[in-house]
Amino acid sequence: MNSSKKKTSWKQPRFWLREVLPYIALFVAISFAVDLWRSQDMPSGNVPIQQLSTLDGQEINLAEISQDQPVLAYFWATWCGACKFVTPTVNWLSEDYQVVSVAITSGDTARVKRYLAAHELAFETINDESGTLANAWGIQATPTIVIISDGKIKSITTGISSPPGLLARLWFS
């Protein structure tokens, strides 16, 4: 028995528009809604804590350094499973963009330095040993990425983020 309907091949644009695009749109909408819900208690507008000290004792002012180019603030932890997927992307972005990371409750400074060295991570890092900084920022999940431009928070995302998604957030900030 031959059916009068032709099956649409995955190679044809119609297949992608009809079958795949709705799922992609649904995924993007759900991701956006989850980000919005998770970031509801986080600060908006001006950066809450601007002056930070890195593992090497260097003082960083997020409002100042975000005047020339957007800053990606990366809140993560050594014990965070999802961070293992996001950290390589953040490290790659640190080659061309300003990245300041905050290691949340990940141990003392020596332990965080060993972790960074073992994983060959090159971005500036602040050790938030007690979680005080994360609490001040309203961070409830790791990883959390905050895009700062002109001293203001422009974008917040939590969980696993793709390289194109993070690049888009940096470009549009």
CATH number of the CATH domain containing 101: 3.40.30.10
Do 35 and 50 lie in one domain? The reply is no
Instruction: Render pLDDT for 1-60 as a digit per residue (tens, 0 to 9).
Output: 555 555 656 567 777 677 777 787 777 677 666 666 655 665 666 777 778 999 999 999
pTM for the predicted model, two decimal places: 0.77
Give the closest residue to 99 by CA, choosing from 61, 70, 127, 76.
70
What letter would DSSP give residue 8?
P
Tens-digit pLDDT profile for residues 131-147: 999 998 889 889 999 99
Predicted local distance difference test score (pLDDT) of residue 40: 61
Q: 33: which 2 tokens? A: 């809604």
Domain of residue 108, residue span? 46-172
| Greatest distance between any 2 Cα atoms in the chain | 76
Question: Domain check: are 71 and 149 in the same one?
Answer: yes
At 22, which helix (H) or strand (E)?
Answer: helix 21-38
82: pLDDT strictly greater than 90: yes
Residue 126 pLDDT exceeds 80: yes
Which of 8, 155, 144, 126 is closest to 61 using CA atoms?
126
Least confident of 68-77, 84-93, 154-163: 154-163
What's the gap between Cα 50 and its chain centre? 18
Q: How many domains does the chain divide into? A: 2
